[in-house]
Amino acid sequence: MEKKDIDWANLGFGYMKTDKRFVANFKDGAWDDGQLISDDTVTISECACVLQYAQTCFEGMKAYTTEDGRIVIFRPDLNAQRMEDSCKRLEMPVFPKEQFVDAVVQTVKANAAYVPPFGSGATLYIRPYMFGSNAVIGVKPADEYQFRVFTTPVGPYFKGGAKPIVIRVSDFDRAAPHGTGHIKAGLNYAMSLHAIVDAHEKGFSENMYLDAGTRTKVEETGGANFIFITKDGKVVTPKSDSILPSITRRSILYVAEHYLGLEVEEREVFFDEVKDFAECGLCGTAAVISPVGKIDDHGKEICFPSGMDEMGPVTKKLYDTLTGIQMGHLEAPEGWIKEVVID
Ligand code: PLP
Ligand code: COI
């Protein structure tokens, strides 16, 4: 299979149309088998529930080319489970987990020419999503849904790749207590758009959201969870019911403990203690592990000892181990890697 002629090394995190996408429809209480199609457009009612009441959720994962040329996907079963959780909270029908993984594999296989080569610094981002498609004018869930999967080759989420970024403490809230912060609902991202545009205008790469109830505890950013490293080398990550349970973060905690022998703590993290950490990073599928060098709290700066030039040493070890597993040159824990066999 010949790869597309793409300048892989200079890709940003953007959308590029690829050849095929998977589409399945839910009607009369059941999903059809779904199929790969070429049309990248969607035609739905002007009154579709997704357009009026934002009934939509999505997932994000990546496919990688390993050093020996295989194509692998990182933990798609966990994305399938999280999408099930999102669907249940949004009164949407569940797309069965096995079929979810199969649809993802089919879509990657059909777009194998777009999976960036090993060592290029790019990956194939996979975006499954679902939305209520029939007309709904009273506030209620749709009866008909579409589940789709598309792919797009991507580079680093933050410009500069592994260079430390500067973020700010946001005055906006991301998720209410008992709200939808723990699921991957489109509405969580719609309400973060003003905050991210404002942050970018002021020169910050992301927003640090605090808990909406007390504004004393660290939650997450618009698109990633936090990890902190203490001065004695422990990995600490915020525990909260209103943050997205990041698959990257869960994998990092496992790797820290079982591959690197580090102590890990998942607990409430008060903003007051952030100044005492040695390193800080954002973790997620898109972000991988992006080091944070500085946090701006309304003009007061928290500067991590790891500085603005490179990742801190513990963050780097975590990054190398996690990406080593994803790219196939470190042995993965059982069940973490799904190979896409190209025939
Ligand atoms: N938090 C938010 C709000 C996100 O959008 C994402 C991205 O998926 C994450 C965290 C990271 O989750 P994951 O590691 O599963 O990609
Ligand atoms: C991901 O990391 O997959 C995400 O969904 C983050 C997104 C905001 C780009």
Q: How far is CA 215 from CA 11, 174, 197, 236, 272, in A?
A: 37, 11, 21, 19, 11
pLDDT digits (tens, 9 = 90+) for 60-95: 999 999 999 999 999 999 999 999 999 999 999 999
Query: Could you tell me the distance, in angstroms and rounded to a whole number, from the CA of residue 246 to the centre of ligand 1?
Result: 5
Ligand 1 atom closest to Cα of residue 61: 16
- DSSP H or E run through 264: strand 264-267
Q: Is any atom of ligand 1 closer than 6 Å to the C-beta of 60?
A: yes
Q: How far is CA 221 from CA 182, 192, 284, in A?
A: 13, 9, 10
The answer to whether 163 is a known catalytic residue is: no
- Report the pLDDT value the prediction gives residue 161, as an integer from 0 to 100: 77
pTM score of the predicted model: 0.97
283 vs 227: CA distance, rounded Å: 7
- Report the pLDDT value the prediction gives residue 159, as an integer from 0 to 100: 83
- Ligand with an atom nearest the CA of residue 209: 1
Tell me which residues of the chain have a pLDDT lower than 70: none
Nearest to 219 by CA among 228, 230, 232, 208: 208
Residues lining ligand 2, judged by CB closer than 6 Å? 60, 223, 284-286
Query: Could you tell me the distance, in angstroms and rounded to a whole number, from the CA of residue 283 to the centre of ligand 2?
Result: 10
Residue among 20, 184, 217, 317 flagged as catalytic: 184
Beta partners for 208? Answer: 169
Ligand 1 atom closest to Cα of residue 220: 1
Nearest CA to ligand 2 atom 6: 223
pLDDT digits (tens, 9 = 90+) for 23-35: 999 999 999 999 9
242 vs 220: CA distance, rounded Å: 9
162 vs 313: CA distance, rounded Å: 13
Q: Which amino acid is at 284?
A: G
Residue 161: CB atoms within 10 A of its CB come to: 11
